[in-house]
Amino acid sequence: MQKLIDLTHSLSPEVPTWDGSPGFGIEINTDYADCTPPDIFRTQKINMGAGIGTHMDAPAHVVPGARTIDALGLDDLTGDCAVINVSAEAGEDYVISPAAVEKFEREHGQIRPHTFVIFYTGWSRRWAEREKYNNNHKFPAVAAETAELLIKRGIIGLGTDTLSADTGAGGFPVHRAVLGADKILVENIANADHLPPTGAKVFILPPKIAGGTEAPVRMIAIV
């Protein structure tokens, strides 16, 4: 029997952000009491950064002239899913090396083309504590060599359950590698520990923003 897994964190003013400031706001424009029954409505206005919560980066996020959110096809946003679990060893200074991918492939076979790869570090357990999750940008990251290895495998993209695949301490080489190869990145993934290492299908569903370089997503998997 198929099962749906929601890989998306809820958005609220309390969610962790890159700079630590509130990045999401929602306010009521019209409320039920302002209306004449029986037709009552609550309308709302959202104010947010595009790269907040569970979100994706399009190639144009770091590559001038590259594809934007609206230029990505459905094939770029759906595919097989491989989950590489490094949570047993991942701490705030941990960097995911190619050895993690090689170990996964010895156990599950080589990652196939058109796969979306998620690194589950366990950092998502901190999501409800904004300062601990941000942690002054000290969280498990991905090595550039690891991203380059996965690109050679023909992946459609890479995802993490942290603020970013790069901490920024040494620049953003994983962003340059993955987005520079016309692939996508997804950050702040929830519930990746509910997925099997292989066998799931993933769907990354952003609003179709013209010219967008980032976008929040509703990300789901079918197991």
pLDDT category at 220 given cuts 50, 70, 90 is very high
Residue given tokens 């190869």 in the structure block? 181
pTM for this model (two decimals): 0.96
Q: Sorting pLDDT into bands at 50, 70 and 90, what band is 27?
A: very high
Q: Report residue 49 as tokens.
A: 């950064």
pLDDT digits (tens, 9 = 90+) for 84-93: 999 999 999 9
Q: What is the pLDDT of residue 1?
A: 84
pLDDT in tens, 44-82: 999 999 999 999 999 999 999 999 999 999 999 999 999
Residues 150-172: what's their mean pLDDT? 97
